[in-house]
Amino acid sequence: MTPIDAKRPLQLNDQGQLRHFLTLDGLSRELLTELLDTADSFLEVGARAVKKVPLLRGKTVCNVFFENSTRTRTTFELAAQRLSADVITLNVSTSSTSKGETLFDTLRNLEAMAADMFVVRHADSGAAHFIAEHVCPDVAIINGGDGRHAHPTQGMLDMLTIRRHKGDFEKLSVAIVGDILHSRVARSNMLALKTLGCPDIRVIAPKTLLPIGLEQQYGVRVFTDANEGLKDVDVVIMLRLQRERMQGGLLPSEGEFFRLYGLTTQRLALAKPDALVMHPGPINRGVEIESAVADGPQSVILNQVTYGIAVRMAVLSMTMSGQSAQRQLKQDSEEHN
């Protein structure tokens, strides 16, 4: 397999429109803004009595999850259904799956079902890229999360959440806190924030949970002291401790992590008074975040789930039908009204 980064051009067609959605790396600010604008338009659909538009009528979306994720799978299913697509969801066992022959054979079997799009979630970094490289030309691939590499739709729903509550990215300070080393969400968020013009991206974690070279690769500021890193930030994005991906003694204990890095009411007070609190879920209460904060007035964690449906509708429609999705939706809204 060739390196992941070498496959970025796979995402775009000759007109610069989305062909696949694999990573935020290499996508332009204009394209990310178009995606956010389209997602904004789809939020109105969720408020209707009949929550459907006909943009993908006659298309088949196949969710192929080699790795469990109730939240991501469910929101992709809802997004495809609201676009009037037919939806198939397969939970594929990971016990004997590899990125070699088994994954290739799985792909060929899925193609035989005549699906128009695969949403792929896999524990191995690069799996979605591998499938995109070998899939039939008329089939689109959406990355629903691959290993430690990328979770682009989560990154964009986080950006939509920030934009709807804070507006312009160009004056914001955003802190990403927790298990950076194992987090594909952190990588997608750093790329999105940088592309959208956020001037102050902070990463806060113990040294054992920090990848090497973050400052140079993503243009972020790194803090190992949570209290220092959270001072005067506008947005705090907490991450789950991914024990299932950890090897060796990276942390003394969850209790010690919470004491030093957990988001408590007292620690949140170091941020700006109107700072947003975000978390991609699932939340480990008392490990990375205090219940009073997770359920508090500054939390937009449930908003993230709502916005996730709209973002995934935008990704599905733009990948399948190009950047005409907003125009089609506007026409549908006029007919609906």
Give the annotated binding-site residues. Answer: 71-72, 99, 121, 151, 154, 184, 240, 281-282
In the three-class reduction of DSSP (H, G, I as helix; E, B as strand; rest coil), residue 23 is classed as coil
From the list 246, 290, 284, 240, the residue with the least C-alpha distance to 268 is: 290
Q: Which residues contact 200 (CB under 8 A, 6 or more apart)?
A: 172, 173, 174, 221, 233
Q: Which helix (H) or strand (E) holds 75?
A: helix 70-82
Query: What's the token pair of residue 83?
Result: 């676009």
What residue numbers does the annotated binding site for carbamoyl phosphate cover?
A: 71-72, 121, 151, 154, 281-282
Pairwise CA distance, residues 159 & 38, whole Å = 13
| Letter string b/e over residues 230-264, b meaning 16 or more CB atoms within 10 A of that residue's CB | beebbbbbbbbbeeeeeeeebbeeeeebbeebbbe
Query: Residues 81, 73: contact at Cβ < 8 Å?
Result: no
Pairwise CA distance, residues 190 & 180, whole Å = 11
Residue type, 113: M
- Taking the alpha carbons of 145, 320, 26, 172 in that order, is the dihedral positive or negative? negative
Q: Which residues contact 154 (CB under 8 A, 6 or more apart)?
A: 72, 145, 184, 185, 188, 189, 280, 308
What residue numbers does the annotated binding site for L-aspartate cover?
A: 99, 184, 240
From the list 283, 212, 249, 1, the residue with the least C-alpha distance to 125 is: 1
